């Protein structure tokens, strides 16, 4: 199909996902969610992609939310299906084995904020605008924003943001812990690429396991989560990268990792 609403480009082991519907500020229509799933299929199957960077096409927005014009016409059952589809999609994103970075190049509202919350690391700039406008539309965040934001910055701050529907700009978003980094407009993409490079210097399977243990462990009782960590750690002792990493330290040289 010619005009995809979600693009994937692979360069230097980085998978660049671009939400490409700038005429609607990249709002998450059902078509966008379908195309996003196709891109996730490719990322999951790729042997080349080691870090994923997600951003929005155009000058103004990362993603301005769920598609309000589509939701305007939905029955409760259709809304249930739409929210479920989006949540399955975002959970797939959050479960990717590769580390993911969201570059918030403008508005990240409602569903756009929720998309960003499903990545591992968020980078913004002064013109980044985040927030949950939903209660102003008579609904609540429906793509897991109530849950993922609470887990990131706590329930009380999340309640304030959701109850007031106020928007928050780059600096405050950084102070709240929604953004990992606040950079200049020119540095938005390069800082994500520098972060990707810093990640890719390390043993790929170790990074993958670290993400898995953090993700899965956060939903387990502490005791079970620590056990999961111990088992993952032991498994990594079976890898060539562990042998190489420690040998390189002893031999006072830089390790050369090869994914095994």
Closest CB 129 distance from ligand CAA, rounded Å = 7
Give phi and psi for 56, each to the nearest 5.
-115, 145
Closest CB 6 distance from ligand CAA, rounded Å = 16
Closest CB 26 distance from ligand CAA, rounded Å = 8
Catalytic residue from among 9, 44, 70, 114: 114
Separation between Cα atoms, residue 139 and residue 244, nearest integer Å: 53
Query: Toward ligand CAA, which CB reaches closer, 44 or 136?
Result: 136
Query: Toward ligand CAA, which CB reaches closer, 69 or 252?
Result: 69
- Which residues are CB-neighbours of 102 under 8 A, at least 6 positions away? 53, 54, 55, 62, 108, 115, 116, 119, 121, 122, 123
Q: Binding residues for ligand CAA, per CB under 6 A?
A: 24-25, 27, 60, 64-69, 107, 109-111, 114, 133-134, 137, 139, 141-143, 145
Query: Toward ligand CAA, which CB reaches closer, 133 or 204?
Result: 133
Catalytic residue from among 134, 172, 240, 251: 134
Active site residue 47: no
Q: What is the DSSP string of 98-163?
A: S-EEEEE-SEEETHHHHHHHTSSEEEE-TT-EEE--GGGGTS---SSHHHHHHHHH-HHHHHHHHH
Active site residue 114: yes
Q: Which residues are catalytic?
A: 114, 134
């Amino acid at each position: 199909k010619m005009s995809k609403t979600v693009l994937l480009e692979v360069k230097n082991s980085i998978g660049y996902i671009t939400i490409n519907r700038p005429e609607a500020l990249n709002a998450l229509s059902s078509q966008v969610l379908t195309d996003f799933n196709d891109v996730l299929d490719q990322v999951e199957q790729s042997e080349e992609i080691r870090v994923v960077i997600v951003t929005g096409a155009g000058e103004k927005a990362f993603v301005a939310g769920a598609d309000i014009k589509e939701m305007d016409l939905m029955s409760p059952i259709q809304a249930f299906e739409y929210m479920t589809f989006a949540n399955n999609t975002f959970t797939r994103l959050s479960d990717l084995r590769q580390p993911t970075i969201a570059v918030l190049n403008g508005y990240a509202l409602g569903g756009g904020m929720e998309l960003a919350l499903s990545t591992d690391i968020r980078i913004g700039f002064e013109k980044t605008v985040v927030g949950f406008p939903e209660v102003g539309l008579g609904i609540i965040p429906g793509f897991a924003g109530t849950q993922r934001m609470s887990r990131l910055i706590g329930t009380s701050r999340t309640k304030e943001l959701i109850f007031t529907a106020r928007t928050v700009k780059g600096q405050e978003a950084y102070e709240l812990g929604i953004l990992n980094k606040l950079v200049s407009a020119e540095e938005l993409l390069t800082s994500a690429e520098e972060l990707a490079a810093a990640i890719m210097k390390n043993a790929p399977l170790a990074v993958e396991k670290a993400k898995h243990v953090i993700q899965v462990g956060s939903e387990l009782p502490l005791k079970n989560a620590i056990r999961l960590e111990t088992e993952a750690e032991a498994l990594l002792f079976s890898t060539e990268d562990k042998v190489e990493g420690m040998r390189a330290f002893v031999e006072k040289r830089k390790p050369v990792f090869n994914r095994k």
